[in-house]
């Protein structure tokens, strides 16, 4: 099993920044790809960004050039730096980890962007 714990959410004004962290523990040797998804009220969960074990990344078009995903393998932690936040970025953000054919999810952290 892999446990994921997110932190760093909160309330911020439009144009502001937040940094989310996700610490992994447990059977971390299973992990290959880590990422962030989000779910806004009344909407489906959507992928925001992923980072693979060798560092390659992919982003949703809606966050490109504003969000940056990074990974500290020594700390088993993945980060999401969010800049130029918009009200439409308001959502619960979930960390996920994939490996050995399994996907693990964190409990989520709320990000609210006020206009």
| pLDDT tens string 35-80 | 999 999 999 999 999 999 899 999 999 999 999 999 998 899 999 9
Q: What is the DSSP string of 28-71?
A: GGG--EEEEEEE-TTS--EEEEEE-TTS-EEE-TTTTTTEEEEE
Residue 28 has pLDDT above 90, yes or no: no
Residue 1 has pLDDT above 90, yes or no: no
Q: Could you tell me the pLDDT band of residue 29, with boundaries at 50, 70 and 90?
A: confident
Residue 113 has pLDDT above 90, yes or no: yes
pLDDT of residue 27: 82
């Amino acid at each position: 099993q892999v446990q994921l714990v997110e932190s760093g959410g909160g309330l911020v004004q439009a144009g502001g920044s937040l940094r989310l962290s996700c610490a992994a523990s447990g059977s971390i040797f299973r992990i290959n790809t880590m990422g962030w998804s989000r779910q806004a009220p009344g909407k489906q969960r959507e992928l925001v960004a992923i980072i693979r074990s060798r560092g390659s990344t992919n982003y949703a078009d809606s966050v490109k050039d504003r969000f940056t995903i990074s990974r500290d393998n020594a700390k088993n932690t993945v980060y999401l730096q969010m800049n130029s936040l918009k009200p439409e970025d308001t959502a619960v953000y979930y960390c996920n980890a994939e490996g050995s054919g399994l996907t693990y999810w964190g409990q989520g952290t709320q990000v609210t962007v006020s206009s």
